[in-house]
Amino acid sequence: MRLTALLPLLAAVPLFAFPAVATAAPGCFDAGVPLTVEEQRLTASLPAGGPAAGPELVRLAGFDPLVAEVKHDLCAARTPRRAERLVTQAGDRLWRTAVDRAQGRRPDLGTLDRFDDRPLYWARLQLSSAIRQWKPFPSQRDSLLSAFDRGSRGLDDVRFPPGKTRRVMVSGFDPFQLDGAGITISNPAGASALQLDGRVLDTPSGPAVVQAVSFPVVWGYFDQGIVEAAYGTALRDRARRPDVVLTISQGRPGRPGRFDVERWAGAWRGGFPDNNNASVTGGVPPAAELRLDRGHADPAAIATAAIVERAREISQSHHPDDDAVVHALAASLGRPAVTPDRLLQAWATDVKTQIGQHHREHLNALATLRRQQQLQEQRIANQRVVRAYLGDEVLTDVGSTVVWWLARNEEEVRETVDLIGTLARLSAAANNQEVDELFRHLVPENAAPRPAVPPPSFFTPPEPAFFVDAAGEVNPAAADRGTKVDLLPDPDDAQNSLFGHQLADLAERHGHSDLAQEYRERYRTVDATGPSGSAAPPEEQGGFFGHEPPSAEPPTGNGGAPSYPDAPDREAGSEDRRDWGAGG
């Protein structure tokens, strides 16, 4: 143990910054209810000034979130039973948290040295003052304070194993002499209790299990029988009765390592003031009658009611088909716990669950509806996210809209450029605005129309008065047919040669061989007929309009490509390097 160095260490802990005193709903607590002298010290600071010492120590140990949560839950309690259950659990939780922190299992809690017992003391006072001033059920105040105090001092946590293991029960004490400069005092006895609780010690006689409690330094508690309640409960359990019961006390200042032990148990109080500044001189009165000593006509009913209530709290968070609920019930109900009326301890063994078919169907139907509701709520939430994303980030302006569209269609850069007008209109609509003047000409209905070139077979030529053929003779019979050909692009332009050749193939496919021949003559392309005079099937020619090789092999020489008399001279057999748009 580090008790020899503990006092100087605790006294040297600095107090700085502002206290983080937890708060709850103002209407939940009545500030007019007087606090005890101990609780009033929560506002005391060092004589030199600074923050309130108690709440600051709670903050430095990382206990303030626990305090705030208990206060919040207390304000939410709507019934006395719920409030009693809450404060009982809060006391147990505070004690267990302090023990875990002291024994190094909670390194996440604060920066204060883990051998410091003061955070437990001051956090207990913060919560006891909140319970004392809790408004909803003032008639329950004393029972709530008692339930919380027992748990926060470890009295409900004493559990020894059966068998031959040695059992040792020890008690420590709260800090005392806290007025004035003593506001930061600690008590090594309380720190020792936190270090020892639940530990298994190796001894020459075998392992020994230690259970510890922490007593107050208030005469009234002893008058009410707190010592008898703590030790008496443990001693009544014949199968788990402690082999050793002892107390840890602080020696006199200036005499380290030495304690004054009374030669006779005189049951005498010498006038030393307690933490409520009450001073008593005289004999110690008998402890008040303990509720645990009282009888009851039907103790089994009390135990059953307590077990059922604990089981209800556990099972309400599980589905009936959840196998884990049996293990959760067995783990919790198998632990002895004092009943809310403090008459006895109750626990359960061989826990099983059973539910009728009607109730099972009812619960399954409710569970299905809840799942459907959750799914629908999630869909709505997802839609809200998408709408917010599009409205707040994507469609805010044309540039953001175009970038968003391009990110979704990375390979369609040219198409995206063509869609800028449409995207501009989309952005404007999303913002309830007109299309910006800069992009208005790109909107499809505002863009300049492109000249349409109707297909050759649907030309509607003007009505000519006459037609002059190549010999200069008027040939009315050829007027209709000749006009169609003359309306085609200029044949002297080499760039139109491919168009004419493709047009001839198209006419050939649709049974207009004479018109196809005229197109070839106009654009001076070779006859597409084979040796027999018939055109080769398009499937054999391959590609778009039959000008690609049917296989992946590149064509050799001039291949099946048309000849172009007006094209630049090329050596026979040389590769045609012009890209005619269809592959090859």
The percent of the chain in helix, strand and coil, each rounded to the nearest 5, is: 45, 5, 45
**Together in a domain, 333 and 381:** no
- If asked whether residues 562 and 517 sit together in one domain, one would say yes
Q: Mark whether 516 and 530 lie in a shared domain.
A: yes
Determine the pLDDT at residue 218. Answer: 94
Q: What is the dihedral of CA 8, 10, 15, 21, to 10 degrees?
A: -160
Name, in order, each residue with C-beta under 8 angstroms of 398's C-beta and a sequence gap of 6 or more.
420, 423, 424, 427, 436, 439
Structural domain boundaries, residue 304? 299-354
Residue 356 in tokens: 């009728």
Whose CA is closest to 561, among 552, 543, 571? 543
- The number of distinct structural domains making up the chain is 4
Asked which of 278, 293, 308 is the last residue of a domain, the reply is 293
- Residue 34 maps to a domain: yes
In a domain, 310, yes or no: yes
Q: What are phi and psi of 469, to 5 degrees?
A: -85, -175
The CA radius of gyration of the chain, in Å to the nearest whole number, is: 48
Mean pLDDT of 414-439: 89
**CA–CA separation, 307 and 575 (whole Å):** 97
Do 313 and 377 fall within a single domain? no
Q: What average pLDDT is seen over the chain?
A: 77
More confident call, 180 vs 331: 180
Cβ atoms 478, 467 nearer than 8 A: yes
Instruction: Give the tokens for residue 42.
Output: 């929560």
Last residue of a domain, one of 374, 405, 440: 440
Q: Are residues 223 and 336 in the same domain?
A: no
Q: What is the mean pLDDT of residues 420-434?
A: 91
pLDDT band, residue 23 (cuts 50/70/90): very low
Structure tokens at 375: 């799914």
Helix (H, G, I), strand (E, B) or coil at 352: coil
Task: For the chain, give the percent of residues with pLDDT over 70.
Answer: 73
Q: Is residue 469 part of a domain?
A: no
Q: What is the pTM of this model?
A: 0.51
Provide the pLDDT confidence category of residue 17 given band limits of 50, 70 and 90: very low
Question: What is the rounded distance in angstroms from the CA atom of residue 235 to the CA atom of residue 218?
Answer: 24
Domain limit, last residue, from 317, 335, 354: 354
Q: Which of 234, 194, 198, 283 is nearest to 3 (CA)?
A: 194
Write down the residue that tokens 């000409």 correspond to: 441
Residue bearing tokens 């209407």: 27
What is the average pLDDT across 497-510?
Answer: 73
List Cβ<8 Å contacts ≥24 apart for 525-533: 525/497, 525/500, 525/501, 525/562, 525/563, 525/564, 526/562, 526/563, 528/504, 528/562
Decide if pLDDT at 214 tops 70: yes
286 and 366, same domain (yes or no): no
pLDDT of residue 258: 74
Q: What is the mean pLDDT of residues 9-22?
A: 36
Are 430 and 324 in a shared domain? no
Position 351 pLDDT exceeds 60:
yes
Determine, yes or no, domain membership for 471: no
Better pLDDT: 303 or 7? 303
pLDDT band at 466; cut points 50, 70, 90: very low
pLDDT tens by residue, 236-262: 888 889 999 998 887 777 776 677 777
Based on the domain organization, do 165 and 309 belong to the same domain? no
pLDDT digits (tens, 9 = 90+) for 140-162: 888 899 999 999 999 988 989 88
pLDDT, residue 298, reads 75
Would you state the structure tokens that stand for residue 91, as one six-digit string? 């006391």
Contact assessment for residue 433 and residue 426, using Cβ atoms and an 8 Å cutoff? no
Per-residue model confidence (pLDDT) at position 121: 98
406-420 residue pLDDT tens: 898 988 888 888 898
Q: Please tell me whether residues 338 and 428 are part of one structural domain.
A: no
pLDDT over 70 (residue 536):
no
Provide the pLDDT for residue 486: 57
State residue 242's pLDDT score.
94
pLDDT band per the 50, 70, 90 thresholds, residue 66: very high
Predicted pLDDT at 264: 75
pLDDT computed for residue 526 by the predictor: 58
Verify that 122 and 202 share a domain, yes or no.
Answer: yes
* Residue 454 belongs to some domain of the structure: no
Q: Give me the mean pLDDT over the 395-413 stretch.
A: 89
Residue 154 lies in a domain: yes
Are residue 411 and residue 544 in the same domain, yes or no? no
Residues 103 and 149 in one domain: yes
Instruction: Confirm whether 451 is domain-assigned.
Output: no
Question: Measured between alpha carbons, how far is 474 from 491 in angstroms, rounded to an integer?
Answer: 22
Q: Is 450 a domain residue?
A: no
**125 confidence band (pLDDT: 50, 70, 90):** very high
